[in-house]
Every structure is written in C-alpha cells, then in structure tokens.
Structure 1
Amino acid sequence: MNVAFLVAPEGVEQTELTDPWRAVKEAGGSPVLVSTDSGTVRAFHHLDKADVFPVDKVVGGTGVSEYDALVLPGGVANPDALRLDERAVAFVRGFFDAGKPVAATCHAPWTLVEADVVRGRTLTSWPSLRTDIRNAGGTWVDEPVKVCTAGPTTLVTSRRPDDLKAFRDVFLAVFRRVPRP
C-alpha cells in the first residue's frame, strides 16, 4: 500500500502527520511525503513550531497513479496553503477522479472544498469548517470519524487530534480493501 501524505511546506499539525504515518508503516505500507516544494516541511504543535520532515516527492513531479490512497493531515495553515496551490488541488482532485480512497482530518477538508469534491458527500472536520462544507454542497456531521462512500471514492474524515486512533483504524481498514494491480 503506497500512500501519499500531502502537506504544505509549513503548518501541518505534527501529530496529524506522524500518527497516521506510523500507522501506515506498521500496517506494512509505504508512506510518501508529498509537498508543493522540495526540501523539508515544518510541522507545528498547535501554534508552536515542531519538527522538520524531509519531502519525498513534489506535486507536479509525482502523480496519482503512483499511489493507492491519499492522506490529508490537518493544521490550520497547512490546508489553507494547499488550497492556494493549483497543483496540490489538482493532485487531490485526481484521487477522486481515479476512485482512490482519501482520508482527511481536522482542517484538511478545506483542501477538499477547494478541489470541489465534497458536493453530495457527508463528512466531518474541525467544527469551524462546517459552514464551508455545507456551502460547498456537502453535509457536515459531528462524529469522531465519518466514512462516505458516495461516488467511486471512499472518503474518511475525522474532527481533531483526539480522534486520531479511530481515524487511523478506519482509514487503514478502507485502504486495505483497495485492489492492487
């Protein structure tokens, strides 16, 4: 299972990157850190700077066909930066076009809103995104994890860092069902 983790060069919530990353590795998968710039990404613990992580691939230099699934970690600044990068938005939309599963936590659904892939879907997120999701045609629910199978892409979403255990258990179960070529 080859899983892309898409993050901006700065602003990803560290635990929302490292916890799912570790889960993919422990499940025998290969996580790949994809960003909009080469070099490193700076994670945060809420508003405080945290660790730095090396970028494996750059959007535009990698494609959806290289991965089985996509994880979008949150953090307030991370998805806000991603949604301003046309290549990142197209990369996300590509997973939906290909029918590959996507998992997004906390503020990450902002990128999904920008990619115009929430219409007709039910999802959860950090509560402040509920109006954005509704305005984009989605249905927002206040649940620790929500799986939406509307359309060819299964979407797994979660609200906050406190929900990470449930989030990773559910998205791993969904990702394991992906047929391999």
Structure 2
Amino acid sequence: MPYSLSGKTIAVLATDGFEQSELTEPKRLLESWGAKVDVIAPGDSAKIRAWNHTDWGDSVAVDQHLEQATPEGYDALVLPGGVLNPDTLRTDKQAIAFIRAFATAQKPVAAICHGPWLLLESDLVRDRNVTSWPSVKTDLTNAGARWRDAEVVVDGQLITSRKPDDIPAFSAAVAKALAA
C-alpha cells in the first residue's frame, strides 16, 4: 500500500554491524513513499558497514554524524537491529540522548529485531507493549515491557518489530504514524 510521506524526514540511527536488510529495506520503502531518509552514525566515518545474516555486508553512506544531528530536524526515528549495532549504540550516551529526545517530542520511534535494546537503554519500555527478536524478550520484560509475539506492535509513538520478515509491516507502521 503506498503512503504519501512527501515533506517528511526520517532519521535512521546506526553504526557498524547493523543488520543490512533492517536498514536498507525500510529506507527504500520510506523513500519510495516520498520521505527523505538520513542515515546518522556516531564518529566521523563516511560509511558504516552492515552485517548480512552471517557475515559482513555492504557499506552504507552516512548522511550526518550523530554529533551534529538534531532531533528537531526529523519527523521520526528508525533503529535497525543486528546484534553489534544496538549493543554498541546502547553504551553511547549521545545516541541514548538522541533517542530520548524523539520520545520526549512525541515523535515516532521505531525499532526492529535487536533494536529495542536501545529503547530499553533509553528508558522507553516500562509499561509499554513491544516486540523484538526473541532473545531480547527477557531483557525487555525485565525492564517492565509487555512483550508480544507479533510482526509489528504499536504503542503510542513506539513501533517495534521482530525480524527482517516483518519489514513490510514495520515500514507501513512508520508510514501510518507519520501520516496521522
């Protein structure tokens, strides 16, 4: 289903080790619906490298460095998974502050697969309905979340999905949140 996202700008926060399809496919879909999508990463690298299931994948250009990015310039935030990516970002105080700023501004924050680790680290999951990759379930429930096994779970402005197979529903939920 096509959505009209013309004039919307979406930030994708990632670093080396993001799951390739969880960044590239939502980005492709959201751009096909008219959104501008910027890849934001910490540090000064011009590219970040994907993990593609079992080995290193493609590199993706960084549009803006986290140190210069401001949430005010974006309408929504997408957090791809992969194990290494969120595990690295969850210890980055600036990344966590960036995520919290979207939530404080009541802008959509969407995380897929292991990406919800960043929501947990940002104190955004207590008493919220979420989903994730199954191995993240215990971390989320221990932080007070209500975990659901569904392709996409929307709780207010918080959008979560489980895995790459859920990308169409995940991307559609982001688009619906922006069209509302």
TM-score normalised by the chain length of structure 1: 0.93
Matched residue SS, 2:96: helix
Question: Is the counterpart of residue 50 in structure 1 residue 57 in structure 2?
Answer: yes
1:28-73 CA distance string (max 9 Å, x none): 1100000012221000112311111111111121111010000001
> In structure 2, what residue type is equivalent to 1:25?
E
Matched residue SS, 2:17: strand
Equivalent in the alignment of 2:3:
none
> In structure 2, what residue type is equivalent to 1:17?
L
Question: Is the counterpart of residue 68 in structure 1 residue 71 in structure 2?
Answer: no
Equivalent residue for 1:34, pick from 37, 40, 51:
40
Equivalent in the alignment of 1:173:
176
Query: 2:107 and 2:173 mapped to 1: Cα distance?
Result: 15
Question: Is the counterpart of residue 21 in structure 1 residue 30 in structure 2?
Answer: no
Matches within 5 A, 1:32-181: 32-38=38-44, 39-149=46-156, 154-177=157-180
Unaligned ranges ≥5, structure 2: 1-7
Supply the RMSD in Å over aligned alpha carbons.
0.8
Residues paired across the two proteins, number: 172
Report the alpha carbon displacement of residue 161 of structure 1 after superposing the two structures with TM.
0.5
Report the alpha carbon displacement of residue 175 of structure 1 after superposing the two structures with TM.
1.7
Query: 2:97 and 2:172 mapped to 1: Cα distance?
Result: 27
Q: Kindly report structure 1 stretches of 4+ aligned residues shifted beyond 6 Å.
A: none
2:12/2:39 contact within 8 Å kept: yes
Unaligned ranges ≥5, structure 1: none
Percent identity over paired residues? 45
2:18/2:81 contact within 8 Å kept: yes
Query: 1:50 and 1:37 mapped to 2: Cα distance?
Result: 20
Report the alpha carbon displacement of residue 120 of structure 1 after superposing the two structures with TM.
1.4
TM-score normalised by the chain length of structure 2: 0.93
> In structure 2, what residue type is equivalent to 1:83?
R
